[in-house]
A and B are shown apart, each in its own frame.
Chain A
Amino acid sequence: MTSTPKGGYAARDRGWHPPALTPPYKTSVKRSPSAPLLSFPSTLSEETGPVFGHHILGPQDNDLLHNFAAEGQSAIGPRIVVHGRVTDQFGRPVAGALLEVWQANAGGRYRHRKEGYLAPLDPNFGGCGRVITGEDGSYEFRTVQPGPYPWPNGANDWRPAHIHFSIFGHGFAQRLVTQMYFEGDPLIWRCPIVGAIPSREAIESLIAPLDMARTLPMDARAYRFDITLRGRRQTMFENRREGL
């Protein structure tokens, strides 16, 4: 039996996500709302959202090795492919999802005017890319593996190597920003930003394993990062008459 998901979005599990206030991540202290969030069932305003066509993409948007590089050049660093599938909480593939990614270069340096880390810029690396998922929710891009970097929080805090992701599903309620980490990085378990996530299980869902099966011999290693977006409940037991 197939059924059309026309119900509202399943509520976010706020105990699974990081809470707003996580004092070891100091910037959260003054940027976290202190009043409780106001809950209401999703309406059309959250169940719809912008959808981006493949026509917005340039041929090198998913190739961070080359999309900023001079003709005939490429970014320096360990070459990797990052791939995975975007599905919703009920296992349905999310086709047409726009993923925007950004990251530091292989030395841990961002191309940003406010970045103060002494590691050098790579003239051939910009640090942004984007991709839209296919019919089965799959996506793929290639890049260099970013380096870890120090940041002003504690006296000696280092971010584990990571790639930032911004994800659009089909409804604005699904909007998500997160970070992907790399299997085996000892800095993951020392990071106050990672540590904002309450459970080890949730943290592990952000750690991409090395995927030898997708590795390109003599070219690039592969990491797999699957993403789960919120899902819409089915209508059968929807009770939306009272309240909303």
Chain B
Amino acid sequence: MAGPSDETKETPSQTAGPYVHIGCTPNFAGIEGVYPEDLGQRMKIGPVKGEEITIRGAVHEGTGTVLRDAMVEIWQADAGGLYNAPNETRGTADPNFTGWGRSAGDMETGEFTFHTVKPGRVPCPDGRLQAPHVTVWIVARGINIGLHTRLYFADEAAANAEDPILSRIEHRNRIPTLLAKPEGGGVYRFDIHLQGPSETIFFDI
């Protein structure tokens, strides 16, 4: 039986480097004809349930410069709070919503865009409900190990107030770094700051 004593070490991380787009979004990188389309480009593969939204933002380094060589992935529940994953045991997620998106960012501005749905609430292991949120993962040149964060929605104040993870955050003034702001028309803005006064809260999960 496996136990902590015979646990082996995880393979160590290395930076994704400047050319992550060759491997993960080759069509975007101009390498066409190898894969029919880049994975994670479409999160909606048919008519979806719930509120359709757009998440937009950019990744900023400590100098304030926007990264143009990052890759951002998101993972989230569907509008009913269910994950489109084989190990989702609470029900069947919307089959037209993958829950997973990947963006290479705009070639010129570095801005990432996800056309998705507003996620429903998902319980914690102890049964308490989490606020609607999106798991975000960032890799790029200069990032030695992928960064995990979460996107919450600024217009979900009541749910955010009782979210078990947001409640654990000691530095309350940093919570806004996790809040995507509604800009109208179903668009939410979420900027990620790797460093500096508005450094995003990153998680060790």
Contacts and interface: CB of A to CB of B under 8 A. Distances in A.
Interface of A: 1, 3, 8-14, 16-20, 22, 25, 27-35, 37-52, 56, 58, 60-61, 67-68, 87, 89-92, 100-102, 110-115, 126-130, 164, 166, 170-173, 175-179, 193-194, 196-197, 202-203, 205-206, 227-231, 234, 240-241, 244
A198 B142 CA distance: 16
B122 A16 contact: no
Contacts of A22: 144
Interface in B166-192: 168-169, 174
A91 B6 contact: yes
A228 B13 contact: no
A240 B147 CA distance: 25
B132 to A, nearest CB: 11
Given A128-B35, A229-B10, 16 more contacts: A18-B144, A27-B141, A31-B67, A33-B195, A35-B201, A38-B168, A38-B169, A40-B203, A40-B205, A43-B122, A58-B35, A102-B22, A128-B34, A166-B16, A206-B14, A241-B126
B26 A126 contact: yes
25 contacts: A13-B10, A14-B204, A16-B9, A17-B145, A41-B125, A41-B205, A45-B76, A45-B133, A50-B99, A61-B35, A112-B18, A112-B22, A128-B26, A164-B14, A176-B11, A177-B139, A193-B17, A194-B14, A196-B15, A197-B14, A205-B11, A206-B11, A244-B124, A244-B125, A244-B126
Contact of A50 (B24, B100, B199, B205): B100
Interface of B: 1-2, 6-24, 26, 29-31, 33-36, 39-40, 61-63, 65, 67, 69, 73, 75-77, 83-88, 98-100, 122-126, 130, 133, 135, 137, 139-148, 150, 164-165, 168-169, 174, 194-195, 199-205
Given A179-B14, A229-B11, A45 B135 contact: yes
B20 A33 contact: no
Contact of A16 (B10, B19, B139): B10
B194 A33 contact: yes
B174 to A, nearest CB: 8
Contacts of B63: 30
Given A30-B61, A112-B29, A175-B146, A228 B17 contact: no
Nearest to B130: A43
A175 B137 CA distance: 9
A193 B15 contact: yes
A114 B204 CA distance: 32
Nearest to A201: B9
A179 B10 CA distance: 13
Contact of A166 (B24, B84, B133, B169): B24
Contact of A164 (B16, B30, B61, B88): B16
A50 B195 contact: no
Contacts of A130: 35
Contact of A25 (B33, B40, B144): B144
B17 A39 contact: no
A46 B202 CA distance: 14
A241 B100 CA distance: 29
B169 to A, nearest CB: 7
B39 A170 contact: no
A44 B83 contact: yes
Contacts of B87: 47-48, 170-171
Nearest to B81: A44
Given A17-B13, A18-B12, A100 B23 contact: yes
A39 B201 CA distance: 11
Contacts of A9: 205
Contact of B143 (A20, A100, A230): A20
